[in-house]
Structure 1
Amino acid sequence: MSPLSPDLFPALTEAQADPDGPGAHRPALRFGDRSLTYGELAATASPLAARVAEAGRIAVWATPTLETAVAVVAALLAGVPAVPLNPKSGESELGHIVSDSAPTLVLAAPGTQLPPALGALERVDIDINVDVDVRGTGTASPAVGAPALIVYTSGTTGPPKGAVIPRRAIATTLDALADAWQWTGDDVLVHGLPLFHVHGLILGILGPLRRGGSVRHLGRFETAGVTRELSEGATMLFGVPTMYHRIAETLPDDPALAKALARARLLVSGSAALPVHDHERIAEATGRRVIERYGMTETLMNTSVRADGEPRAGTVGVPLPGVELRLTEEDGTTAVEAYDGETVGEIQVRGPNLFTEYLNRPEATAAAFTEDGWFRTGDMAVRDPDGYVRIVGRKATDLIKSGGYKIGAGEIENALLEHPGVREAAVTGEPDADLGERIVAWIVPADPQSPPTVDELADHVARRLAPHKRPRVVHHLDALPRNDMGKIMKRALTHD
Structure 2
Amino acid sequence: MTPLFPALSDDPSSRPALRFGERSLTYAELAAAAGAVAGRVRGAGRVAVWATPSLETAVGVVGVLLAGAAAVPLNPKSGDKELGHILSDSAPALVLAAPGAELPAPLRRLRRIDVDAGSGSDVRGGTGASAGAVDEEEPALVVYTSGTTGPPKGAVIPRRAIATTLDALADAWQWTEQDVLVHGLPLFHVHGLVLGVLGPLRRGGSVRHLGRFDTQGVTRELSSGATMLFGVPTMYHRIAEALPADPVLAKALAGARLLVSGSAALPVHDHERIAAATGRRVVERYGMTETLMNTAVRADGEARAGTVGVPLPGVELRLVEDDGSVVDALDGESVGEIQVRGPNLFTEYLNRPDATAAAFTADGWFRTGDVAVRDPDGYVRIVGRKATDLIKSGGYKIGAGEIENALLEHPAVREAAVTGEPDADLGERIVAWVVPADPESPPREGELADHVAGRLAPHKRPRVVRYLDALPRNDMGKIMKRALPS
Q: Same fold (TM over 0.5)?
A: yes
For residues 321-400 of structure 1, the aligned pairs below 5 Å read 321-331=313-323, 333-400=324-391
Deviation, structure 1 residue 140: 2.9
Aligned twin of 1:227: 219
1:300-329: CA deviation from partner (whole Å, max 9, x where unpaired) = 000000000000000000000000000000
| C-alpha contact 1:28 1:36 (8 A) present in aligned 2 | yes
In structure 1, C-alpha distance between the alignment counterparts of 2:87 and 2:93, rounded to whole Å: 10
1:253 matched to 2:249: no
CA contact (8 A) 2:161 2:292 kept: yes
TM-aligned CA distance change 1:95 to 1:134, over 3 Å: closer
Residue of structure 1 in register with 2:67 after alignment: 78
Matches of 2:312 and 2:45 in 1, distance apart? Answer: 33
Q: Encode CA deviations 1:200-219: one digit per residue, 9 max, x unaligned.
A: 00000000000000000000
Cα distance in 2, alignment partners of residues 42 and 137 from structure 1: 5
**Alignment partners' CA distance in 2, 1:296 and 1:134:** 34
**Residue pairs, 1:277-356, within 5 angstroms:** 277-331=269-323, 333-356=324-347
Structure-to-structure mapping, 1:26-105, within 5 angstroms: 26-105=15-94
Q: Which amino acid aligns with 2:479?
A: I
2:10 paired residue among 8, 14, 17: 14
Mapped to 1, the partners of 2:248 and 2:336 lie a distance apart of 43
CA RMSD after TM alignment: 1.0
CA distance in 2, matches of 1:346, 1:133: 50
Write the letter of the residue equivalent to 1:74.
G
Q: Deviations over 1:101-146 (max 9, x none)?
A: 0001000000000000112100000012432585766323210111
Instruction: Give the letter aligned to residue 210 of structure 1.
Output: R
CA distance in 2, matches of 1:317, 1:389: 6
TM-score by length of structure 2 reads 0.98
**How far apart are the structure 2 equivalents of 1:83 and 1:133?**
23
In 1, are the aligned partners of 2:417 and 2:433 still within 8 Å (CA)? Answer: yes
Secondary structure of 1:248's aligned partner? helix
Q: Is the 8 A contact 1:6 1:167 kept in 2?
A: no
CA deviation digits over 1:247-289, x for unaligned, max 9? 0000000111000000000000000000000000000000000
Runs of at least 5 residues in structure 1 that lack an aligned partner in the other structure: 16-22
Q: Which residue does 1:442 correspond to in 2?
A: 433
Residue 13 of structure 2 aligns to a residue in which SS? helix
Contact 1:6 1:142 in 2 (8 A): no
Name the stretch that deviates more: 46-55 or 210-219.
Answer: 46-55
Q: Which residue of 1 aligns with 2:160?
A: 168
My pick for the range that moved more, 124-133 or 245-254, is 124-133
Q: In structure 2, what is the Cα distance between the partners aligned to 1:226 and 1:260?
A: 8
* Residues 269-278 or 130-139, more deviating: 130-139
Kept in 1, the 8 Å contact 2:182–2:230? The answer is yes
Amino acid at match of 2:84: G
Give yes or no for contact 1:25–1:38 (8 Å, CA) kept in 2.
yes
Provide Cα deviations, 1:417-471, integer angstroms capped at 9, x if missing partner. 0011100000000110100000000000111111111111111111111110000
| Matched residue, 1:192 | 184
Structure 2: 5+ residue stretches without partners: none
Supply the AA of the counterpart residue of 2:56: E
Matched, 1:138 2:139: no
